């Protein structure tokens, strides 16, 4: 999937292109809080130079403090929708125009251009240049063979700067040197294609860049020009935003302020999800056998998912149960609910010709059409597939009514599969939207319709989807999972790389198919299944799913059962910590799982790590990616203690690599020093009172006062634990906690146990 390249080496332009670049900022003018700069394509020395000459208008704005928007326009033409819905918080700006220079400042970020000199546009923060659009970086480009027009920008990159993000990408986590085409594709997890393409990159140089174009955007990340990040798109204008942090947390905070705030999913969604798998045989008897089997093996389960064949083949997605296999779906859902388990069913926005919904949609004009007025159909996936047109308000109401009928039956949520292969050629949308802009944007409309339907029927805070595709703004409709992974150790690691890339792109929650999805020749072996189980249950959301092999642990071996039980219980016990972190992270626009460098920005080694991650701010996880159980993991400076084995401790002065073998029931899950980790080891579901009957684990507490909050089941702060250390004495104070609480002090490999006296305790080590 080649990206756009316009040059032949550094000096030459490819023969099919004509490229014009601003030669100077000729004039600048202030218009309220906007700075307009006019940049002709050659230097103006005489009046005659102003004739027969094109120019770019550069419009500079600030919708959020420390965010500067840049719109490059050649011809000022109206653009058909859709466009990303962005927030304008209208911050104060300072615009300064003199004879020699024009600048706009928002917070600590300034963009400046010299006037009537060689073109140069610099972005500075606190007196330091963070990036720049240098001479000949911008381009107004015509392919004279096809008569297609493009706009291009190139932003400079520093010697040590690393680029991350651009959505869920399964190759190298660091994007330097890569070519990335931002167009949603159903390409699996072992290709350069991606289900979730986000035209936003994050740097470790204190800033990020968001390209506000829903159509295909081509990124050359220090590739076509190795000194710059290039991005280009078809059209006569190009809009982008430079977002200053300087920390990654602050960059993502401002990005989500601009593109939409994250949502916190319900607590129950953090528990284990079990599915039927895809092409396996399943019926009511099979489903209950699996659910009861989990109980018989003492493995807590929170959600059961029915994949595609809850409907009849050739009729997806007609939203009707296959009554041959499920004669009483309402009764079955009640049986599942009576076992304390939620129900999820698979859907997609493609309507097969054989299904009853097709005739309704055809009659009422609810599908994307071709230019000749026929419905846009093909046989890929299901025979005669049509696509719901979410630009038609009546089609949205119709689709939502089908979902509501399932919710009324007792269904709790939906797996919103697909949404990537949306037609562009010969496609007509109800509202006249440009198909090239709709292709990526479609997933937002689709998942919004589903999420809103659940929220309207279940209440605010109870909506969750399990989505595969995403675009800018999809962070408002969690959760997303990683798509069709291969069942082997290498693709398990690739899956993590994709997740960390996605979570660096403005998303908070992410899951993946435990064991891998594609069985084929790579049916998961017991050792892969166990290692992926550990990784999956140490992700924000956890789901067993596969293609043609059931994923229940007793189908693998007895140790797989023990492993699943152990790590489900570990995750459930951590929910007071995890849900508190999740609630606080989403409020600020940050992910629950995050790359190591987010929390260790001053450690340059941490900036390169992609086979381990932080789970919240306090826990380090290093999954095992081989059958030998060998792990190489890196520890930044500090004290680290395993939360699985108290005798595994590390005191690291300057950062250190650890090379160690782990048994199949173990892996590195380490708490950093000065951690107050709240747990409930008796939890049997993910949704419980997080303030009650807690174990308060204290790991190598620092001198002075440290405190943590704990939230309730709605994500609101409800309790607090404070530790005041003076030498060998720790004073523990709590508020808002109920029931009994036990304190465990983990210090230098030793564990001291104590009890609260009311809401206080004093411990001498």
Q: What is the pLDDT of residues 195-244, one digit of tens each?
A: 999 999 999 999 999 999 999 999 999 999 999 999 999 999 999 999 99
Residue 607 counted as domain residue: yes
Residue 366 counted as domain residue: no
Q: pLDDT band for position 3 (50/70/90)?
A: confident
Q: What is the mean pLDDT of residues 597-613?
A: 98
Q: Are 232 and 310 part of one and the same domain?
A: no
| pLDDT tens column, 109-149 | 999 999 999 999 999 999 999 999 999 999 999 999 999 99
How far is it, in rounded angstroms, from Cα 313 to Cα 585? 41
Q: Are 480 and 402 part of one and the same domain?
A: yes
Matching residue, tokens 């859907």: 347
Q: What is the pLDDT of residue 520?
A: 66
Q: pLDDT band for position 355 (50/70/90)?
A: confident
Looking at 243, 259, 275, the residue that finishes a domain is 259
Q: What is the pLDDT of residue 522?
A: 63
Q: Are 491 and 610 part of one and the same domain?
A: no
Domain range for 151 is 7-161+204-259
Please count the helices (runs of H) and the strands (runs of E) in the chain: 11, 47
How far is it, in rounded angstroms, from Cα 288 to Cα 301? 12
Model confidence at 519: pLDDT above 80: no
Closest by Cα among 259, 168, 169, 171 to 208? 259
Q: Are 665 and 537 part of one and the same domain?
A: no
Q: Are 492 and 619 part of one and the same domain?
A: no
| pLDDT tens column, 431-447 | 999 999 999 999 999 99
289: helix, coil or strand? helix
Q: Are 477 and 599 part of one and the same domain?
A: no
How far is it, in rounded angstroms, from Cα 640 to Cα 644? 12
Domain CATH for 635: 2.60.40.1180
What number of other Cβ atoms are within 10 A of residue 353's Cβ?
17
Q: Are 483 and 601 part of one and the same domain?
A: no
Looking at 512, 536, 561, the residue that finishes a domain is 561
DSSP string over 536-599: HHTSSSEEE--SSS---GGGT-HHHHHHHHHHHHHHHHTHHHHHHHHHHHHHHT--SEE-HHHH
Residue 484 counted as domain residue: yes
Q: What is the pLDDT of residue 646?
A: 85
Six-digit token pair at 675?
């951690």
Residue 601 — left, alpha, or beta (φ > 0 → left; ψ -120 to 50 → alpha)? Answer: alpha
Residue 107 counted as domain residue: yes
Q: What is the mean pLDDT of residues 54-70?
A: 98
Residue 495 counted as domain residue: yes
Domain CATH for 66: 2.60.40.1760
The domain tally of the chain equals 3
The strand pairing partners of 304, in sequence order, are: 274, 343
Q: Are 694 and 643 part of one and the same domain?
A: yes
Q: Are 535 and 624 part of one and the same domain?
A: no
Dihedral angle, C-alpha 491, 538, 667, 697, nearest 10 °: 160
Looking at 561, 584, 619, the residue that finishes a domain is 561
Model confidence at 479: pLDDT above 80: yes
Residue 568 counted as domain residue: no
| pLDDT tens column, 36-57 | 999 999 999 999 999 999 999 9
What number of other Cβ atoms are within 10 A of residue 46's Cβ?
6
Q: Are 281 and 336 part of one and the same domain?
A: yes
Sign of the dihedral through C-alpha 299, 717, 594, 412: positive
Q: Decide: 32 and 92 in contact? Cβ < 8 Å.
A: no
Domain CATH for 487: 3.20.20.80
Q: What is the pLDDT of residue 758?
A: 87
What residues are annotated to the active site? 417, 420
How far is it, in rounded angstroms, from Cα 681 to Cα 696? 11
Residue 628 counted as domain residue: yes
Q: At what angle do helices 558-573 and 526-537 cross, to 10 degrees?
A: 10
Q: Decide: 495 and 502 in contact? Cβ < 8 Å.
A: no
How far is it, in rounded angstroms, from Cα 197 to Cα 211? 12
Q: Are 246 and 333 part of one and the same domain?
A: no
Residue 382 counted as domain residue: no
How far is it, in rounded angstroms, from Cα 153 to Cα 235? 13
CA distances from 215 to 121, 652, 665 (A): 25, 47, 46
Model confidence at 353: pLDDT above 80: yes
How far is it, in rounded angstroms, from Cα 617 to Cα 590? 11
How far is it, in rounded angstroms, from Cα 689 to Cα 453? 27
Task: Tell me the longest C-alpha to C-alpha distance in the chain.
Answer: 88
Share of the chain above pLDDT 90, in %: 96
Q: Are 104 and 133 part of one and the same domain?
A: yes
Q: pLDDT band for position 354 (50/70/90)?
A: very high
Q: What is the pLDDT of residue 648?
A: 96
Q: pLDDT band for position 256 (50/70/90)?
A: very high
Q: What is the mean pLDDT of residues 332-355?
A: 97
């Amino acid at each position: 999937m080649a990206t756009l390249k316009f040059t032949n080496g550094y000096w030459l332009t490819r023969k099919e292109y004509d490229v014009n670049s601003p030669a100077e900022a000729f004039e600048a003018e202030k218009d309220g809080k906007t700075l307009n700069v006019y940049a002709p394509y050659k230097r103006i020395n005489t009046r005659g130079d102003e004739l027969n000459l094109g120019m770019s208008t550069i419009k500079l704005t600030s919708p959020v403090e420390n965010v500067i928007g840049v719109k490059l326009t050649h011809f000022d033409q109206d653009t058909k929708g859709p466009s990303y819905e962005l927030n304008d918080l209208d911050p104060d700006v300072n615009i300064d125009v003199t004879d020699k220079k024009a600048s706009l400042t928002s917070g600590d970020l300034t963009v400046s251009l010299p006037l009537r000199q060689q073109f140069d546009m610099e972005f500075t923060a606190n007196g330091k240049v963070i990036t720049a659009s240098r001479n000949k970086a911008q381009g107004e480009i015509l392919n004279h063979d096809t008569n297609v027009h493009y706009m291009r920008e190139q932003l400079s990159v520093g010697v040590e700067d690393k680029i991350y993000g651009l959505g869920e990408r399964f190759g190298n986590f660091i994007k330097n040197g890569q070519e990335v085409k931002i167009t949603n594709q159903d390409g699996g997890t072992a290709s350069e294609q991606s289900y979730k393409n986000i035209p936003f990159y994050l740097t470790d140089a204190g800033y990020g860049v968001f390209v506000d174009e829903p159509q295909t955007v081509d990124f050359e990340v220090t590739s076509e020009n190795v000194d710059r990040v290039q991005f280009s798109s078809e059209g006569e204008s190009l809009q982008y935003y430079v977002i200053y942090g300087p920390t990654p947390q602050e960059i993502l905070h401002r990005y989500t302020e601009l593109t939409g705030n994250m949502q916190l999913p319900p607590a129950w969604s953090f528990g284990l999800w079990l599915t039927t798998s895809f092409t396996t045989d399943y019926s009511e008897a099979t489903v209950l056998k699996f659910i009861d089997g989990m109980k018989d093996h003492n493995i807590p389960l929170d959600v059961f998912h029915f994949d595609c064949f809850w409907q009849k083949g050739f009729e997806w997605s007609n939203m009707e149960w296959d009554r041959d296999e499920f004669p009483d779906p309402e009764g079955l859902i009640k049986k599942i609910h009576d076992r304390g388990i939620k129900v999820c069913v698979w859907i997609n926005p493609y309507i097969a010709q054989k299904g009853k919904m097709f005739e309704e949609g055809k009659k009422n004009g609810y599908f994307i059409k071709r230019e000749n007025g026929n419905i846009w159909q093909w046989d890929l996936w299901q025979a005669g597939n049509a696509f719901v047109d979410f630009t038609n308000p009546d089609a949205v109401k119709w689709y939502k009514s089908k979902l509501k009928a399932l919710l009324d039956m007792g269904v709790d949520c939906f797996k919103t599969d697909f949404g990537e292969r949306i037609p562009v050629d010969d496609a007509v949308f109800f509202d006249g939207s440009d198909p090239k802009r709709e292709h990526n944007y479609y997933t937002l409309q689709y998942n919004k319709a589903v999420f809103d339907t659940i929220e309207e029927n279940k209440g605010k805070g109870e909506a969750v989807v399990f989505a595969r595709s995403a675009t800018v703004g999809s962070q408002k409709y969690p959760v997303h999972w990683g798509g069709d992974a291969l069942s082997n150790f290498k693709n398990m690691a690739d899956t993590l790389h994709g997740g960390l890339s996605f979570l660096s792109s403005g998303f908070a929650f992410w899951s993946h198919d435990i064991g891998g999805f594609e069985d084929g020749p790579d049916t998961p072996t017991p050792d892969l299944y166990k290692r992926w189980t550990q990784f999956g249950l140490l992700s924000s959301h956890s789901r067993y799913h596969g293609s043609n092999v059931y994923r229940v642990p007793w189908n693998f071996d007895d140790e797989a059962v023990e492993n699943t039980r152990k790590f489900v219980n570990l995750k459930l016990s951590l929910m007071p910590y995890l849900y508190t972190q999740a609630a606080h992270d989403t409020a600020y626009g940050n992910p629950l799982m995050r790359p190591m460098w987010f929390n260790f920005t001053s450690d340059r080694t941490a900036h390169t790590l992609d086979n381990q991650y932080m789970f919240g701010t306090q826990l380090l996880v290093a999954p095992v990616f081989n059958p030998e159980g060998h792990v190489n993991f890196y520890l930044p400076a500090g004290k680290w203690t395993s939360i699985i084995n108290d005798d595994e401790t590390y005191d690291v002065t300057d950062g250190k690599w650890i090379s160690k073998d782990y048994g199949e029931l173990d892996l590195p899950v380490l708490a950093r020093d000065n951690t107050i980790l709240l747990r409930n080891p008796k939890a049997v579901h993910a949704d419980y009172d997080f303030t009650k009957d807690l174990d308060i684990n204290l790991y190598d507490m620092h001198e002075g006062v440290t405190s943590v909050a704990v939230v309730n089941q709605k994500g609101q702060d409800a309790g607090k634990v404070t530790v005041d250390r003076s030498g060998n004495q720790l004073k523990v104070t709590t508020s808002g906690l109920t029931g009994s609480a036990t304190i465990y002090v983990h210090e230098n490999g030793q564990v001291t146990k104590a009890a609260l006296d009311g809401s206080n305790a004093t411990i001498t080590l």
